[in-house]
Structure 1
Amino acid sequence: MSLSHEDRVAITDLINRHGHLSDSGDLDGFAEIFTADIAYDVTDLGGGVLSGVDAIREAALALGDRNPVAHHVTNIVLSQAGDGVVHAVSKALGVRADGTVGSLTYTDTVVRGADGWRIGHRIVRARRTPLRD
């Protein structure tokens, strides 16, 4: 079964909402985009693998003013992995308070559950070297 247009829009909106929730400080809203047991892998950024929505929220609070002031997601590519499972890869830019910008890649596993689509696994990798994964 191929991914419907409606599913593509819902998943893209889900990925886009992360930045809006983060930037506005609506960290409780993460429960609307991540599964309760999400594995959020920020090992590449020095943070290890965060398990669960509460751990992501606590990590963001611990960063405080070191959080980006703006998250921008672009170039979202979706591929169906199985019934109710989609792989997504996207590019992200994080703008820091001092005006510097970091480039990231999000690799997500998105699953359909009783509450609709949610991100169940995310790997965040910093882009530090051109022309490489």
Structure 2
Amino acid sequence: MGIDTADRLALHEIAARYGDLIDARDWPGLAHVFTADAVFDLRDVGDGQLEGLDAIRRFMAGSQHPLAHHITNIYVTEDGGEPVLHSRVIGILHDRRAGSGRYTDTVVRTPAGWRIQHRVFHLHRRPSAEPGSPAAGG
């Protein structure tokens, strides 16, 4: 298939738009990011898989999100000629701590433009430190 510069720019826009929509709590606007049949895999944080745009919207409306989503490190790779969108998120949590994670998105071109069809979220966790190591404070 081959991803050209215009496609890459459009995919970067999706990643950025997602952060703004979540921060604005604009759940209807998620149709500009996800397909109607999208799957959002949140198993890494214990929230299972959300099946379909309506389920994603309900989850977002009913959960406590970070106050700010900063989407960074956006890039596109190809898997079998199909684009895969990668990005990182830094979020400011309600207790004022920061958290981060990464998204890996399978994207498709629709009549309305590029949309995420399958998203996997992985939370970044501090590696467990061995006793006596500098990371463990010893």
Structure 2: state its 5+ residue gaps. 128-138
Whole-Å separation in 1 of the counterparts to 2:78 and 2:65: 32
TM-score, normalised via structure 2 length: 0.86
Contact 2:76 2:83 in 1 (8 A): yes
Shift of 1:81: 3.0
Corresponding position: 1:97 with 2:78: no
Tell me the equivalent position of 1:77: 75
Over the aligned positions, Cα root-mean-square deviation in angstroms equals: 1.3
Structure 1: state its 5+ residue gaps. none
Tell me the equivalent position of 1:34: 34
The residue type paired with residue 24 of structure 1 is A
> How many residues are paired up?
127
- Could you list the runs of 4 or more consecutive aligned residues of structure 1 that deviate by over 6 angstroms after TM superposition? none
The residue type paired with residue 114 of structure 1 is P
Deviations 1:48-84 (A, max 9, x none): 0001111111111111xx211101111112013356x
TM-score, normalised via structure 1 length: 0.89
Whole-Å separation in 2 of the counterparts to 1:22 and 1:31: 12
Contact 2:74 2:86 in 1 (8 A): yes
Tell me the equivalent position of 1:45: 45
